[in-house]
Amino acid sequence: MKSIPILLVLGLLLVMSPPGLALRDAPAPWVQGLCEDVSTPRSGFIYWTNSGRPDIIERANLDGSSRQTVISGLEAPRDTALDLMRGQIYWTDNRTATVERANLDGSDREPLITTGLEEPRGIALDLMRGQMYWVDGNRARIERANLNGSGRQPLITSGLESPFDIALDVEGGQMYWTDLLSGTIERANLDGSGRQPLITSGLVEPRGIALDLMRGQMYWADSGTDLIERANLDGSNRVPVISTELVEPRAIALDVVGRQMYWSDEGTERGLGTITRARFNGSDRERLINTGLEFVTGIVLVLDP
């Protein structure tokens, strides 16, 4: 049987199936196996945006080793997303006010959205429908377009203050986002209808958000409260997960199979940012990258089966 690489984009599980097998067609035991905990060490990669100095996108092994630059020559990269089937990486840059993509080796760089943006931040891909979603903090809106940049559509253009990050439940047909200034987490249908506030109190500067669709939960990082928290997808059963030794946590990504979370932290001084991981219950905390990081606001995991 061919191996099935797994891509986790800010908590969204995407299984890249071999020809002839789609996730929705898989037998129940195979799906159930994905939901079980993994006791052996996982292999794969972390991709992240490093904005400030030197404004690049990097990657490393899941344990932080073999760090390398993937995309250089950027101005202020904010978030990134991967399309492994086509071997491409997407990112937002809020200084050039663009959405771009390139091959995973950095070649064939291509601008996709170059007008009508002011501060693009979070980006997420719906590979099932061939679309990308992003938030614009300054214009206070959420938009989507085809993966090549065509067919651009505004989805939510009112009632936002400064959206920061976005995560998709593609199968469930919903998008989730954080708003930095209003201190809220909301969701809506993928077309922008059916908007629902989920978390409306106790947040100061919610930034990264990630979904655990297997367990019906969402995780987020709040750089104002210095907390990483978790709740059900409807906002109920909210609990703090990491509440100590955080200094402005920003991006977060989940390994839902291995039950581990990865997050970035700004650190006490410029250039002292970190990327850390821990179990979903907050135990076994492990610092992975602790040098040469400025503002890491986007993290993506690529997990081997």
Identify the pLDDT of residue 198: 98
Q: What is the tens place of the pLDDT at every residue in 121-167?
A: 999 999 999 999 999 999 999 999 999 999 999 999 999 999 999 99
The neighbouring-strand residues paired with 179 are 163, 184
Q: What is the tens place of the pLDDT at every residue in 180-233?
A: 999 999 999 999 999 999 999 999 999 999 999 999 999 999 999 999 999 999
Opening angle at CA 231, ends 4 and 272, nearest 5: 75
| Average pLDDT for the chain | 88
Enter the tokens of residue 48.
Answer: 């992240």
The C-alpha atoms of residue 174 and residue 11 are separated, in whole angstroms, by: 14
% pLDDT > 70, the chain: 85
Give the DSSP letter of residue 25: G
Domain spanning 6-16+42-303: CATH 2.120.10.30 = yes
Q: What are phi and psi of 24, to 5 degrees?
A: -70, -20
Enter the tokens of residue 228.
Answer: 């990483």
For 126-154, the three-class secondary structure string (H helix, E strand, C coil) is ECCCCEEEEEECCCCEEEEEECCCCCCEE
Q: Other CB atoms closer than 10 Å to residue 206's CB: what's the count?
A: 26
Q: What is the tens place of the pLDDT at every residue in 245-261?
A: 999 999 999 999 999 99
Enter the tokens of residue 189.
Answer: 């249908």
Segment holding 157, helix H or strand E: none
φ/ψ region of 105 (left if φ > 0, alpha if ψ in -120 to 50, else beta) reads alpha
81 touches 144 (CB < 8 A): no
247 touches 234 (CB < 8 A): no
Enter the tokens of residue 3.
Answer: 């191996």
Beta strand pairing call for 239-242 and 227-232 = antiparallel
pLDDT at 53 over 90: no
Give this prediction's pTM. 0.88
Give the DSSP letter of residue 32: H
User: Which amino acid appears at position 41 of this protein?
Assistant: P
* Residue 118 binned pLDDT confidence (cut-offs 50, 70, 90): very high
Q: Where are the domains of the chain?
A: 6-16+42-303
Displacement of CA 160 from its chain's centroid (Å)? 20
Beta strand pairing call for 286-289 and 239-242 = unpaired
The C-alpha atoms of residue 293 and residue 267 are separated, in whole angstroms, by: 9
Give the DSSP letter of residue 293: B
Displacement of CA 274 from its chain's centroid (Å)? 17
Identify the pLDDT of residue 145: 98
**What DSSP letter does each residue of 68-130 carry, written as one string?**
EEEE-S-S-EEEEEEETTTTEEEEEETTTTEEEEEETTS-S-EEEE-SS-S-EEEEEEETTTT
pLDDT at 23 over 80: no
Please, what is the end-to-end C-alpha distance for the chain in angstroms?
Answer: 12
Q: Which SS3 state, helix, strand or coil, does residue 76 take?
A: coil
